Amino acid sequence: MPLAELLLAGLEASDCADLPAHRRVFEAIRRAILSHQLPGGAKLPSTRDLAIDLGYSRNTVLVAYDQLLAEGYVEARTGSGTYVADTLPNYLRQSEKEAAPQLTGQMPRRLSQRGLRLTAAPSDRYYEIQEFVALANDFSAFPHKLWQRLQNKYWRSPTAAMLDYARSGGYLPLREALAEYLRVSRSVRLSADQVLITAGTQQSLDLCARLLTDTGNMVWMENPGYWGARRIFEANDLNLRPIAIDADGINPDWMDLETWPRLIYATPSHQYPTDVVMSLSRRRLLLEFAGRRGAWILEDDYDSEFRYGGRPLASLQGLDTHDRVIYLGTFSKVLYPGIRIGYIVVPPDLIEPFRVGLSDIHRPGQMAVQAALSDFIKQGHFASHIRNVRGRYGQCRALLQHTLQRTLVAAARLSDADTGLHLVIRLPQQCDDVALVAEAWRQRIDVKPLSAYYLAPPVARGLVVGYGYTPLDETVPSAKRLAELVNRHIAATA
């Protein structure tokens, strides 16, 4: 096809209609080159001839040629004219040259086996935003104005350090403030250099999996357990061994105790999602076992700021005498999930490898946010925010528990831990908790099916009811609607 005809067709391409004339000419020639309709070495007409053929000014074509030249699509040969540059890779020259365009189009575009496994059953519908009234998240307890003021201090005229990568595990004053907070409120045994700032627990888990395991290593996973941790372990090709949960927390049987896991993932302060607090005897068993096996315990302490009665529970890390516990915390629950700041407390011998791993794999930053957060903690705002939201969530929990207890039939059992941001309604085995969740959603109630948190049978049925961020005035009517729905379902399936 003559060049002008080819280009005239290209000039009419719908996605170029809004472009200025020189840009349309450039695009038409560029596309003809990329699709090999204009092969390497082909001579382009003079700008004068092409302008006449296309019906544009010569200047328009000149600007288009200049741009093609600048981007390497064509080359000017002095005294001879403008030619399409030969940019085909060497290995595709000669005989394969012709096949190249078809080849690229036909090659399969599949994910890796790991990618296929990971994306086959997305879990994002179980994101733990902890709303109970659907789509009504109430973040008003977060002191936005104060937060903005603290951030402004660092953004008004930021120093180079504020705009740089976060080196050496993050902003030191924040790590110091966290070390102090964890020592006092969670009985964690640490110094500030053991604390590394991450982009949340998900990243902390990934770092642990990458640095402490090899493909196929075994990891003990609570069953039922936190899907976010499970996804990370799956993404790292680990061999997940489900360990049962009973009223005392994680409950390995004798066969489990024969195995050699590299990692043990646990939520001792408030098992996710069953709402169970791990007993002291189980804590000791776990520490003893990890010490003997050389396994690392990943203690995910995601919501222990929220304890509504009794004394705060000490962390598992604080009981550990073998330095086998890695403690993970997050600001997702206590501040807001999108802040994407968490922390990891590693034993002294892991500080350096974890610093290198964090920096080389994840290249963290957000120094100004870390600095503002450090001020937030040091100036006492964090402590008063915790008091404030604890009061508010405690009130919500009490309303929820009271309404559910009064309305639910006896066959539905309510969990009773006095901690965290969710509770569980246990249902008789014949109930279909997934169907119940779908039905609740139609009534603007967002709960999760307990059965979906299991890695392996036997699977218990129930509803996980998150209540952080729930508007207080909607709590009682929504709890009533939910309880009535559950009662009807139990009656229908009895």
Ligand X SMILES: Cc1ncc(COP(=O)(O)O)c(C=O)c1O
Interface positions with ligand X (CB under 6 A): 128, 200-202, 226, 228, 267, 272, 300, 302, 330, 332, 337, 342
Shortest distance, position 377 Cβ to ligand X, whole Å? 17
Q: Which is nearer to ligand X, 273 or 347 (CB)?
A: 273
Torsion sign, CA atoms 381, 310, 225, 490: negative
Least distance (Å) between residue 242 CB and ligand X: 16
Q: Which is nearer to ligand X, 76 or 386 (CB)?
A: 386
Asked if residues 299 and 268 have their Cβ atoms less than 8 Å apart, the reply is: yes
Report the nearest approach of ligand X to the CB of residue 228 (Å).
6
The Cα–Cα gap between 489 and 494 comes to: 9
432: left (phi over 0), alpha (psi -120 to 50) or beta: beta
Q: Which helix H or strand E contains 112, and what residues bound it?
A: none
> For ligand X, which is the closer residue by CB, 56 or 220?
220
Q: Are 475 and 433 in contact (CB under 8 A)?
A: no
Q: Would you say 302 or 469 has its CB closer to ligand X?
A: 302
Least separation in angstroms between residue 356's CB and ligand X is: 22
Alpha carbon distance 135, 127 (integer Å): 13
Of 455, 462, 461, nearest in space to 422 by CA? 462
Q: Mind spelling out the 3-state secondary structure of 132-198?
A: CECCCCCCCCCCHHHHHHHHHHHHCCCCHHHHCCCCCCCCHHHHHHHHHHHHHHHCCCCCHHHEEEE
Least distance to ligand X from the beta carbon of 65, Å?
52
Q: Which is nearer to ligand X, 27 or 299 (CB)?
A: 299
**Shortest distance (Å) from residue 137 CB to ligand X:** 13
Closer by beta carbon to ligand X, 228 or else 462? 228
Smaller CB separation from ligand X, 10 or 225 = 225
Question: Tokens 């080196």 correspond to what residue?
Answer: 167
The C-alpha atoms of residue 321 and residue 292 are separated, in whole angstroms, by: 12
Between 3 and 277, name the residue whose CB sits nearer to ligand X. 277
Q: What residues are paired with 425 via a beta bridge?
A: 414, 463
Q: Cβ of residue 300: shortest distance to ligand X, in angstroms?
A: 5
Are the CB atoms for 461 and 429 separated by under 8 Å?
yes
- C-beta of 15 vs 124, nearer to ligand X: 124
> Smallest distance, Å, CB 447 to ligand X?
15
Distance (Å, whole) CA 424 – CA 271 = 11
Residue 317: closest CA among 207, 200, 187, 175: 187
* Minimum distance of ligand X from residue 486's CB (angstroms): 23
Neighbours of 214 (CB within 10 A): 10
Angle at 294 between CA 291 and CA 299, to 5 degrees: 70
Of the pair 330, 401, the CB lying nearest ligand X is at: 330
Query: Minimal distance in Å, beta carbon 433 to ligand X?
Result: 18
Q: Are 50 and 61 in contact (CB under 8 A)?
A: yes
At residue 377, what is the residue type?
I
Cα–Cα distance between 420 and 303 in angstroms, integer? 5
Among residues 200 and 268, whose Cβ is nearest to ligand X? 200
Question: Distances from the Cα of 78 to the Cαs of 75, 81, 140, in angstroms?
Answer: 10, 7, 69
Rounded to a whole number of angstroms, the minimum distance from the CB of residue 91 to ligand X is 44
Q: How far is the CB of 279 from ligand X (least distance, A)?
A: 19
Query: Is the CB of 201 or the CB of 478 nearer to ligand X?
Result: 201
Nearest residue to ligand X, by Cβ distance, number only: 128
CB 154 within 8 A of CB 371: yes
Measured between alpha carbons, how far is 252 from 101 in angstroms, rounded to an integer? Answer: 58
